[in-house]
Amino acid sequence: MPLDRDNDLVQVDGQSALGTLVELHGRILDARGEPLKQALVEIWQVDADGIYLHSRSGSRQRRDAGFQGYGRFETASSGEYRFRTIRPVAYSSRTPHIHVAVTLPGQPRFTTQCYIRGEPRNADDFVLNGVADARARELLQVDFLPGANGEQLARFDIVLGLTPSDNAPS
C-alpha cells in the first residue's frame, strides 16, 4: 500500500502524474436508491505506462512516481465519493479499467471494475465479457466526458443489493 492513500491520485511528493486527468465521482446507493453513508470506497489502477503500484511488479523502475495508483474515500450522508485520477490505459490483454471496492461497516467488501464506454478493446476483454448479463455489463461502462482545463469527468454510481436496515449501525 502506498503511504499516500487519499482521494487525489495525481500528486505524490510534489510530482504530478502523467496522463489525462479525470474526476471519477458517483454515489453509493442501496437497492431502493437511498445513499449509503460511511462506505469506504477504494480505487486502484495502472499508471499511464500500464504499470501497477505493486510490490511484485516487474516494472517498478518505470513506474510513474507522480501517480499514487491507489486511493480511498469515505462517503458522508449523501453517499457521494470523488477521486482525482487519470484516464485508465490498456495493458497486456486488458482493456482500460479502474478497480473499485466498496466496504460498509459490518458488510463484506464488494469489488467491481469501471470501464470506458465505447473503448474498442472492451469487445475482447475477458473480465468484462465474463459478465453474462448484458444490462449488468452495460452498467459497468461509463462515459468519460470533457471537463474544465482539459480534464475529463466520469460518473460511476454503484448500487449495492442492501436495504436500509442492512446498513443500520450495530
- Going by C-alpha positions, the residue among 60, 142, 130 that lies closest to residue 94 is 130
Q: How far is CA 88 from CA 107, 134, 165, in A?
A: 29, 22, 36
pLDDT, tens digit, 9 for 90 and up, residues 62-99: 789 899 999 999 999 999 999 999 999 999 889 999 99
Flag whether the pTM goes above 0.85: yes
Alpha helix ranges (H) inside the chain? 134-139
Task: Give residue limits of the domains in the chain.
Answer: 11-161
Q: Given this model, what pLDDT does residue 42 score?
A: 97
pLDDT tens per residue across span 7-37: 999 999 889 999 999 999 999 999 999 999 9
Fold of 11-161: Protocatechuate 3,4-Dioxygenase, subunit A (2.60.130)
Q: In angstroms, rounded to a whole number, what is the distance separating the alpha carbons of residues 118 and 143? A: 8
pLDDT at 126: 96
